[in-house]
Amino acid sequence: MSEPAPSPSKAPWWLETLLWTLGMIIAVGVAAYMNETVREVVAQGLGYFFGFLSTPFILEASTALVGLCIVLIINSRRIEREGDGWVMMEIKESATAAEAPGKEPNAADKAPQA
């Protein structure tokens, strides 16, 4: 008897990225705690980074980009949960219009059928 195929992982798609990010932050934190030179370099680098991000144009552009990304993420999660909402409309043609293609349908044929 053959074994059933393994089920796909149920871990969220963002979990691996989060774990790698936390691992890198912890590694830099431990290195900064253990060595004064690393601590100084990290502090100066973060200072330059936040100084660069707080310049007027960069701050406005990065805030707009982060806001747009948040909106796109929320929308994609909503579409995953609710579906895309695509609907196929059924168009009914009247019998007389289908029988006589060259003939103009009268007002009774144009009226909606219930």
Beta strands in the chain (DSSP E): none
Please measure the distance between the N-terminal and C-terminal CA atoms of the chain and give it in whole angstroms.
58
For the question of whether the overall pTM of this predicted structure is more than 0.75, the answer is no
What is the tally of structural domains in the chain?
Answer: 1
Within a domain: 103: no
Within a domain: 101: no
Within a domain: 100: no
Within a domain: 68: yes
- The arithmetic mean of pLDDT across residues 61-90, rounded, is 89
Within a domain: 26: no
Residue 76 is part of which domain span? Answer: 39-81
Query: Would you state the structure tokens that stand for residue 85, as one six-digit string?
Result: 């909402």
Within a domain: 62: yes
Within a domain: 57: yes
Express each pLDDT in 4-41 by its tens digit: 666 556 667 778 889 999 999 999 999 999 999 999 99
Express each pLDDT in 34-70 by its tens digit: 999 999 999 999 999 999 888 999 999 999 999 999 9
